Amino acid sequence: MKLICEKDNILKALNSVTKAVATKTTMPILEGILIQTNDNEVKFTTYDLEIGIEYVINCEVKEQGATVVNAIMFSEIIRRLPDSEIKITLDEKNLLVIECEGSLYKLATMNPDEFPELPQINIENSIEMEQNSLKDMIRKTIFAVSTEENRPIFTGCLFEIKNNKLNVVAVDGFRLAWKSKFLQNKINDFSAVIPGRTLNEINKIIVDSYDIIKIGVAKNQALFEMENCKIVTRLLDGEFLNYSSVIPENWETRIRVDKNTIQNCFERISLISSSSIEKEKKYPVKVNVDIGKVTISCTNQTGDAKEEMYVTTEGKNLEAGFNPKYFLDALRNIDDQEVFIDFGTSISPCIIRPTQEGGDYIYMVLPIRMKE
């Protein structure tokens, strides 16, 4: 194997594929990158048995071949080489020789025949959408996936096609995030739960552009395809929450408030509610809604804090307790200038939604019972 390629092109591929390199494994081959040449291109592949990523770039291929090299070592060397043309050769001793200007490195390799093949997916349902739309949908939901492995189904996001609308939903038992988008082409209804870790990595790879990404789903696998990159992931098994049935349709109290104003209030009061002095304890904040005014307060062993702001209110007065982190996660991912915050009672879910997004983003958070 012998090829010549610009550093920037190799680095672009490595930045993507290294996200599927196994870190804790008894199989050294999974810590490697499979490098394969074909005509005037080279394909880099990584696979940790849950996520697999392929990335193809154009290059000058002098000799065909394939090998596997340790991913971290290879990518770190490439990253630190001069911004110039790089020559990569597999020599007669099966060492991977890397040359760039005055730099010369030789790395041990592994047998490419031992590298596991990525699953072959017989796609049953698929959609196409702009990468920036998918990126936005992931950003506005991924923070609400569960980190508790005792309920694996909630460690992923539901991707549901229903009535030609894509719904992406995340829930962790304390809050729920739901982002939807109408699709231009007629699509059959289907659903799949994609691991949160996969979506986090996909979100780092896709770009904020109108370039198309194709999402294909089979029985237990999903495939994300872009121009030069392919990502394969397993799906999560189990029955997801019937999310539409748990979201309140009516409210008793509503406030309309500048998003940045209330976000800044929660940021400040979190200094007291989650003080580093008491690392093991997370104190709720009290939200008190009065006519034209909202007061957020917190009292604990660290100290007292109170924030008041004048807002537009409708309905009844209310007092309820909440985890401020859950409020902040939603507010930080809303792009609108103003938000509605709807309450039922002091023990029923609260809904946060943008005032301008046309009902395509809803965030629900459960209250915390306040100690008397």
What DSSP line would sit under 322-340, residue for residue? E-HHHHHHHHTT--SSEEE
State which fold the 253-365 domain adopts. DNA Polymerase III; Chain A, domain 2 (3.10.150)
CA–centroid distance for 28 within its chain: 27
CA–centroid distance for 276 within its chain: 27
**Residue 145 carries which DSSP code?**
S
Task: Assign domain 2-114 to its CATH architecture.
Answer: Roll (3.10)
Q: Which of 341, 333, 334, 343 is nearest to 367 (CA)?
A: 343
Cα 21 to Cα 18, 100, 218: the distances in Å are 5, 25, 23
Find the farthest-apart pair of alpha carbons in the chain and give their distance in angstroms, rounded.
81
Q: pLDDT tens digits, residue range 280-301?
A: 456 789 999 999 999 999 988 8
Which pLDDT score, from 0 to 100, does residue 283 have? 74
Which pLDDT score, from 0 to 100, does residue 303 have? 87
Q: Where in the chain is the domain with CATH 3.10.150.10?
A: 2-114, 125-208+234-245, 253-365
Which pLDDT score, from 0 to 100, does residue 281 have? 54
What is the average per-residue pLDDT within 346-371?
88
d(CA 51, CA 43): 17
The pLDDT-based confidence of 149 (bands split at 50, 70, 90) is confident
Report whether 61 contacts 41 (CB < 8 A). yes
d(CA 341, CA 37): 55
Domain spanning 125-208+234-245: CATH 1.10.3720.10: no
Which pLDDT score, from 0 to 100, does residue 185 have? 83
Question: Which of left, alpha, beta for 49 (phi over 0: left; psi -120 to 50: alpha)?
Answer: left
The residue type found at 306 is K
Q: Is the pLDDT of residue 277 over 80?
A: no
Burial class (CB in 10 A: 0-12, 13-18, 19+), 306: middle
As a whole-number percent, the residues of the chain with pLDDT over 70 amount to 97
Which pLDDT score, from 0 to 100, does residue 280 have? 47
Q: pLDDT tens digits, residue range 48-73?
A: 999 999 999 999 999 999 999 999 99
What tokens appear for 246 in the block? 């748990």
What tokens appear for 27 in the block? 């199989």
Report whether 158 contacts 138 (CB < 8 A). no
Q: Is the pLDDT of residue 213 over 90?
A: yes
The pLDDT-based confidence of 372 (bands split at 50, 70, 90) is low
What is the average per-residue pLDDT within 225-254?
95
What is the average per-residue pLDDT within 166-193?
94
Which pLDDT score, from 0 to 100, does residue 116 have? 96
Which pLDDT score, from 0 to 100, does residue 282 have? 63
Range name among 3-17, 85-99, 123-137, 295-309 with the lowest pLDDT average: 295-309
